Structure 1
C-alpha cells in the first residue's frame, strides 16, 4: 500500500477537528489539497474512513478503529523526532543586537515546539554568511539586496534615533529632524548599517559621508566626533558608550527588520522557526514605532 506520513497526519487532523477547513488551516494547506490527500488514503486502503454525508465530518466505524492506531504511530514518531531534535541545531545569524524581546520569545517558541536548538552567530555580513551556507537564517535590518534565490520575511519596523559624540554640537539640540541630517557629517556602516546616503533622495543626502566596515568601527568613529550616526532605538537601551549621546530623531522612516533564508536548505526546520518568529512578533514582542 502506498500510504505516506502526510496521509496519516491529514487523516488525524480531520478526525480531531471534525472539519476539513480547520484541519487545512492547521496543516497549512488548501482544503482541496487536503480532500485529495484523504481521498488518496481511502483509495489506497479501499475503505471509507470518514462520513461526509452530514453537516459535520464523522468517523466511520473503520475510521474510528484506524484512528487509534494512527495516533499511536504518530505519537511514537513524534517522540523519536524529539529525541533526534535535541541534536539538531538551527544557525541564526545577525550583525548587531538582536531585537528584544522578540528574539528571546521566537527562539523559546521554536525550541519548545521542535526540541531543536538555535545557535546564535554574530557576523559583520550575515547575508554573505547565508550565501556561503554558514547560516540557515539571517536577521537583517534596513533595506538590502537579498542573495539570489533567497526568500525574505518582513517581521516589523524599528524606530530610529540619532547618535553623536558627547562633544558634538548636536547635544545642545532637543531633537534632530530627518530632513536636517544632511547638514551633518554622517558616519555609515557600509556592510550592515541600516542608514546611509541611500536612505534619502539624491538632493537631500548628507554632503559628507564617513564610511566604516562594522558596528564597532562605526561606534568609535561617532564617539571620536567625526560625525553623527543613525541607528534603531534599541541602541539607546543596549549599547552603552561613555562618549556618545542619543538624540531623538523626528519624522524618520522606521527601519525594517527581516528574516532571510534559502528555500532549499532545511525546509521544515526553517518553516518552524518562521512560524515562531511571526508568532512572537504578533504577540507584542516587536518594538513599537510610535513616539
Structure 2
C-alpha cells in the first residue's frame, strides 16, 4: 500500500490529541476507521508507531521520529497550497468610481476567504471587456441591457445634481428631478449613468452637451455649459472647486449590478466573490437607497 496524505493527517492528529476518540472527531471519521488507517500506515512502513501497551495513546521512539517528518511534509504541502492560491487573481472591471465602502469590504472579505487577489481595471466598456476575457467580472451602473452575461443585482445608488458655482442654481438647497428639462444637460456619453433617456420623454432635457469621460463632464459643468447628474458618491470623492453638488428630490435610483460570462475557468473564485459582494455588511453602502424608478431610467 502506498503512503497517502490521509495516513499522515491521521497520525499527526492522533499524536496531537493522544486519543483516538478526539482525533477521530477532528478528522470527522469513526474511531474504528481511524484505527484502521493507523494500522495501514504502520504496515506500509513496516514499523510500529503507536504503543498499544498503555491505556493512553503514546508514540514509540520510531513514532516520535516519524512525527517530525510527517509534520514537516504536511507543513510544506500547506505552505505550497497557500503560495499557489496567492497567485490566483480575479479581475474586476469598472468604468467609474467603485462604490464605497462596498468595494473595500468586498475585496477584503474575498481575499481573506480565498487567499486570492483582486486586481482592478478601469475600462470604458465593461461588457465588451468581459467578452475579450481581459476582466472576469464587471461592476455596472444603470439599466444597460445585457445579452449572454449573468447579472447579479447589488443595490441602488442615489443621484445628485452638479451645478457650476457661477450658476444661478448654485444657491438652491435642492432641485427636483422634473425641473431639468429647462436647462442644458452635460452627458458623459461613454460611461455616464444619466442621459435624456433617464426622464420620461415629455420631461427630458431638450439640450445635451456631450462629452466622453468624467473629467470632461466635470469641467463642462464647472464652466457652466450645463447642469449634470451623477451618482452621489461624486460629492465625496470627485469634487471640483468650481462645482457644487446639490441634493435631488424625486430622482430615480441608479441600479448597481455585477456581471460575468456564464462560462470560464474561474467559477470557484467568481462564486466566492459574489458571496462576499452580496453580504449584508458589504451592500450597506453610503449611498444605497431603495429602488424608485418613477417611470424613468
TM-score (norm 1): 0.71
* Alpha carbons of structure 1 residues 163 and 137: separation in structure 2 relative to 1, 3 Å: same
SS of the residue aligned with 1:135?
A: coil
Structure 1 residue matching 2:169: 3-state secondary structure: helix
**Residues 209-257 of structure 1 deviation map (CA, whole Å, 9 limit, x = unaligned):** 1111111121111111111111111000111111111111001111111
Q: Whole-Å Cα distance in 2 between the matches of residues 188 and 280 of structure 1? A: 33
Spell out the pairing of 1:117-266 with structure 2 (5 A cutoff).
117-146=117-146, 148-265=147-264, 266=266
Cα contact 2:154–2:283 (8 A) shared by 1: no
Distance 1:65 1:119, change over 3 A: farther
**Larger-Rg structure:** 2
Matched with 2:268 is 268
3-state SS in 1 of match to 2:248: strand
Segments of 4+ moved more than 4 angstroms: 58-68, 74-80, 280-283
Q: Which runs of 5+ in 1 are unaligned?
A: 1-57
The equivalent of 1:8 in structure 2 is: none
DSSP 3-state at the match of 2:284: helix
Deviates more, 1:88-97 or 1:77-86: 77-86
RMSD between superposed Cα atoms in Å: 2.9
Deviations 1:232-290 (CA, angstroms, capped at 9, x unpaired): 11000111111111111001111111111112121111111111111155563453428
Instruction: Summarize the Cα distance change of 1:206–1:116 in structure 2 as closer, same or farther, 3 Å threshold.
Output: same
> Structure 1, residues 17-40: CA drift from partner, whole Å, max 9, x if none?
xxxxxxxxxxxxxxxxxxxxxxxx
- Contact kept, 8 Å, 2:88 with 2:117, in 1: the verdict is yes
Aligned residues: 231
Give the Cα separation in 2 of the matches to 1:111 and 1:66. Answer: 38
Tell me if the contact between 2:277 and 2:283 (Cα under 8 Å) persists in the aligned partners.
no
After the TM superposition, which residues 40-59 of structure 1 pair with which residues of structure 2 at under 5 Å, given as runs? none
Structure 2: gaps of 5 or more residues: 1-27, 39-70, 291-297
CA change 1:278–1:81 in 2 (3 A) is farther
Q: TM-score, normalised by structure 2?
A: 0.70
